[in-house]
Structure 1
Amino acid sequence: MSNLILASASPRRQALLSQLGTPFTVLPADIDERHDDGEVPRDYVMRMSRTKAEHVAQQYPDAWVLGADTIVTIDGRILGKPKDAADAAAMLSSLSGQVHDVMTGLALVQHDQGYMALETVSTRIYFHTLSDADISTYIAAKKPFDKAGAYAIQDQEGVLVDRYEGCYTNVVGLPLQRTAAMLRCAGLNLGGA
């Protein structure tokens, strides 16, 4: 097992982290991801990323564990992963023609040293106005059921997103610049960086 563990099952997050050139092991944290009543989005993503990292770090106390959680938030509401096509359509309809934020919480934990670093990264997204046909076609073609907000910026080819402000890889699931900075700050070597 490598000295770095990614506490996530997300294939997009795994692909992004591999770009940093640091070997890592994937051990998803099986935790309850419901948000608490009245919990604001930033607090939620921080709690989720920290809980994921701590859950795995307790099992591997000498390893560095990276936890991350990404949400879509609009008007203070959290849009998680849709349950079905109708839920996905409702999410995409609520985002249509609107501005929303994609927020990722990051937690780097090393249990034996009592180390914990926490960050949040937010990217502003401007959505095109979508017709019902646009939404149906996207849902049928892209299968958005494992994606917060029912979409993925990397596979929408300009259909949904007009533009964004901030970190592109954050919207995909892992803000690479911030993640690299966290790992370097903890003394972890990045391949080629």
Structure 2
Amino acid sequence: MELILASSSPFRQSLLNKLGITFRCQSPDIDESPVAGESPQALVERLARQKAETIAANAPHSLVIGSDQVAVIDDQIMGKPGERDKALAQLRLANGKRVHFYTGLCLLNSNSGNCQTAVEPVEVVFRRLTEQQLTAYIDKETPFQCAGSFKCEGLGISLFSAIHSDDPNTLVGLPLIRLTQMLANEGVDVLTA
């Protein structure tokens, strides 16, 4: 079966490459707006599944991986900022606080319809930083396409005093430990593939 990553994210592609398995990427075109009253966990699980379903609809004999992530600060969902001012506002809001990230994961078998989903949490503790430090970070790394406005795999790691997670890949956007378990459930052993 073909393995498809339902994403155009270079970060997710890089993570999946760590497993050394053959896959291709296809970007799903879906509306990522939250539904009124939807929890962050329900949002990312729904979007991960919807991304996988969108690609699987035209991909017979495939295992399709969908993933989505949000940051939550003071009960407010933070998505990708898209621009400098919004990124800086997100970092100001996170400054000195605990921020929760939720990453939804879906593996959908387009033949059987078997669909596995999970939501993986990560807690990030932000250091207390000056305005100068925050703007310097934004200008150096331009994390405008990253939920929470940082790249933990780069200079963004300097923003934190701690990260609490079962899988360090989850914060980057693809929980590889859970994904390898899901793939094994579908008969794909990444060690022997």
Shorter-chain TM-score tier: over 0.9
Tell me by how many angstroms 1:156 deviates: 2.2
- 1:34-49 pair list within 5 angstroms: 34-49=33-48
Residue 29 (structure 2) aligns with: 30
Q: TM-score, normalised by structure 1?
A: 0.94
Q: Distance in 2 between matches of 1:173 and 1:90?
A: 21
- Aligned residue type for 1:68: S
- Aligned residue type for 2:171: V
Q: Distance in 2 between matches of 1:83 and 1:25?
A: 25
- 1:2-13 pair list within 5 angstroms: 3-13=2-12
Structure 2 alignment gaps of length 5 or more: none
- List structure 1 segments (4+ residues) > 3 angstroms apart after TM superposition: none
- 1:54-65 pair list within 5 angstroms: 54-65=53-64
Residue 77 (structure 1) aligns with: 76
Residue 173 (structure 1) aligns with: 173
SS of the residue aligned with 2:118? strand
Q: Distance in 2 between matches of 1:107 and 1:184?
A: 14
Equivalenced residues, count = 192
- Aligned residue type for 1:60: A
Q: Distance in 1 between matches of 2:40 and 2:156?
A: 27
Residue 139 (structure 2) aligns with: 140
2:180·2:189 contact (CA, 8 Å) conserved in 1? Answer: no
Tell me by how many angstroms 1:192 deviates: 4.8
- Aligned residue type for 2:17: S
Tell me by how many angstroms 1:50 deviates: 0.3
Tell me the C-alpha RMSD between the 2 structures: 1.4
- 1:103-142 pair list within 5 angstroms: 103-142=102-141
Tell me by how many angstroms 1:110 deviates: 1.5
Q: Distance in 2 between matches of 1:158 and 1:69?
A: 21
Q: Distance in 2 between matches of 1:178 and 1:91?
A: 28
1:71·1:148 contact (CA, 8 Å) conserved in 2? Answer: yes
Tell me by how many angstroms 1:164 deviates: 0.7
1:21·1:192 contact (CA, 8 Å) conserved in 2? Answer: no
- Aligned residue type for 1:12: F
Structure 1 alignment gaps of length 5 or more: none
Q: Distance in 1 between matches of 2:73 and 2:26?
A: 30
Tell me by how many angstroms 1:112 deviates: 2.4
Tell me by how many angstroms 1:157 deviates: 5.5
SS of the residue aligned with 1:145? coil
Residue 150 (structure 1) aligns with: 149
Deviations 1:60-99 (A, max 9, x none): 1321100001111123221101132111111000100000
SS of the residue aligned with 1:126? strand
Q: Distance in 2 between matches of 1:181 and 1:171?
A: 18
Tell me by how many angstroms 1:37 deviates: 2.1
Change (3 A) 1:157 1:27: closer
2:151·2:157 contact (CA, 8 Å) conserved in 1? Answer: no
